[in-house]
């Protein structure tokens, strides 16, 4: 197979190979089971591409009936578990099995089992079309900022989303009356985005939410001191296929829930999740994600690593200095960038070890005190200057 050129001009190979190292070598004739999980993004296409507002949405997905393998395979089958039994069309194989292929049972579709030898790299293209009356959500960009404050004992988070729906577009214009009827009869299907639910860690406070053009959407916050808190967002207009929706959210947490001081020296360890944000049943694809972790002024990063989860993408790392209000030297900022991210990344944490001494902590208040005293000294000095015109005139007459 030939290589494919991506939208950004990079070359994407159709097949990628990985080396799996077992903890202990297998003895002769010994067997083991290896489970492999991978995600294919941007692989579904709405068919038809445009529908009426009240119609169901169908997606088309193409794949190989043979599992892609670098080795000859003696026995295999592919199970597809869909969220619906409405599967109007699918490719039937020819000559691969004596019985019907694939077998369809409710929401499950099975290609195989194939008991004949399949050579390495072999493929058999098949396509299925199934109902998916939910939005196909894609974030072209997610910017996530985490700011640490030791003086306030606070960890502030802000996330900025550029979201779109890659589902089927509307044939006609949006009809507000039909939409009201669909909302009244909740059983009616809709491929539009109705609302977003953002789960937050217990103890989260001071949430805020704004659209790009102001707070024109509806938001609702349910606090939780012991259980998970929840921020619910309902766009002013439903987001249909081809429509976009940009917004930002933010909240605060107690720093003690994320950072702890080590017993030796002035060392701290910070643990923050790589991804939080909306949790939707249909999931969200993130084409580009940027995580900025801003530490207190005067701190020094000694080490960082990821922990937890099994779906850590390749991360581009950059360490810079971030200057904000009343800073002198600036703050250490660790920036992590990733492409093609899935929801499962929320199980991964970033662990950062950094040094933060007492002198560094006192730098800002000392700077503020010295700056304030300087202002008073300058004001007092200026008050001693005699700028009167009348006295100078008398001296000239004498």
Cα 112 from Cα 159, distance rounded (Å): 45
41 close to 47: Cβ distance less than 8 angstroms:
no
pTM of the model: 0.83
* All residues at 6 or more sequence positions from 309 whose CB lies less than 8 Å from its CB, including other chains: 344, 345, 347, 348, 349
Nearest 5°: the CA angle 159, 7, 213 is 35
What is the per-residue pLDDT for 344? 84
Residues of the chain short of pLDDT 70, as ranges, are: 1-14, 185-188, 361, 390-398
Cα 79 from Cα 65, distance rounded (Å): 10
- Paired tokens of 93: 């194989």
Average pLDDT value for the chain: 86
What is the per-residue pLDDT for 259? 93
What is the per-residue pLDDT for 333? 94
- pLDDT tens sequence across 313-345: 788 999 999 888 777 788 899 999 999 998 888
Find residue 222's DSSP bridge partners: 230
Domains and CATH numbers, the chain: 58-131 (no CATH), 137-360 (2.60.40.1730)
Neighbour count for residue 114 (Cβ, 10 Å): 21
C-alpha 266: how far from its chain's center? Answer: 32
Cα 266 from Cα 184, distance rounded (Å): 59
Pairing of strands 125-131, 58-64: antiparallel
139 close to 239: Cβ distance less than 8 angstroms:
no
**DSSP H helices in the chain:** 176-184, 358-384, 390-397
**C-alpha distances in Å from residue 147, one per residue of 150, 154, 363:** 10, 8, 18
Find residue 244's DSSP bridge partners: 164
Q: Which of 55, 114, 112 is nearest to 86 (CA)?
A: 55
Q: Which of 157, 163, 159 is nearest to 143 (CA)?
A: 159
What is the per-residue pLDDT for 171? 93
Cα 103 from Cα 93, distance rounded (Å): 11
- Paired tokens of 59: 């997606």
What is the per-residue pLDDT for 312? 78
Cα 32 from Cα 46, distance rounded (Å): 40
* All residues at 6 or more sequence positions from 172 whose CB lies less than 8 Å from its CB, including other chains: 52, 53
What is the per-residue pLDDT for 392? 52
**C-alpha distances in Å from residue 136, one per residue of 57, 126, 148:** 10, 22, 34
Identify the three-state secondary structure at position 176.
Answer: helix
For 156: left if phi > 0, alpha if psi spans -120 to 50, otherwise beta; the answer is beta
- Paired tokens of 307: 């922990």
């Amino acid at each position: 197979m030939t290589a494919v050129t991506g939208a950004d001009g990079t070359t994407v190979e159709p097949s990628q190979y990985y080396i799996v190292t077992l903890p202990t070598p297998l003895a002769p004739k010994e067997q083991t089971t290896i489970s492999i999980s991978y995600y294919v993004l941007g692989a579904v296409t709405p068919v038809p591409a445009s529908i009426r507002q009240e119609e169901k949405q169908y997606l088309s997905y193409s794949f190989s009936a043979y599992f892609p393998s670098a080795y000859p395979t003696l026995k295999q089958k592919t199970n597809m578990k869909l969220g619906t039994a409405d599967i109007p069309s699918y490719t039937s194989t020819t000559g691969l099995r004596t019985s019907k292929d694939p077998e369809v049972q409710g929401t499950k579709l099975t290609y195989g089992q194939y008991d004949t030898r399949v050579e390495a790299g072999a493929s058999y293209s098949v396509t299925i079309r199934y109902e998916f009356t939910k939005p196909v959500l894609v974030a072209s960009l997610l910017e996530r900022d985490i700011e640490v404050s030791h003086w306030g004992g606070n960890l502030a988070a802000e996330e900025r989303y550029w979201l779109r729906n890659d589902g089927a577009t509307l044939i006609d214009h949006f009809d507000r009356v039909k939409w009201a009827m669909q909302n009244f009869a909740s059983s009616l299907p809709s491929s539009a985005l109705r609302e977003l639910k953002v789960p937050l860690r217990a103890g989260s406070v001071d949430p805020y939410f704004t659209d790009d053009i102001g707070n024109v959407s509806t938001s609702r916050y349910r606090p939780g001191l012991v259980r998970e808190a929840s921020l619910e967002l309902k766009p002013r207009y439903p987001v249909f296929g081809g429509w976009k929706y940009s917004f930002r959210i933010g909240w605060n947490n107690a720093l003690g829930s994320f950072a702890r001081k080590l017993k030796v020296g002035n060392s701290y360890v910070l643990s923050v999740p790589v991804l939080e944000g909306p949790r939707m049943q249909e999931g969200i694809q993130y084409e580009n994600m940027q995580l900025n972790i801003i530490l207190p002024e005067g701190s020094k990063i000694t080490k960082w690593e990821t922990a937890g989860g099994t779906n850590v993408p390749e991360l581009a790392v950059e360490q810079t200095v971030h200057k904000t209000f009343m800073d002198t030297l600036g703050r250490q900022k660790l920036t992590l960038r990733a492409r093609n991210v899935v929801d499962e990344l929320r199980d991964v944490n970033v662990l950062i070890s950094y040094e933060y001494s007492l002198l560094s902590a006192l730098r800002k208040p000392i700077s503020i005190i010295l700056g304030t005293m300087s202002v008073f000294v300058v004001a007092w000095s200026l008050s001693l200057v005699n700028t009167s015109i009348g006295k100078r005139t008398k001296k000239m007459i004498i």
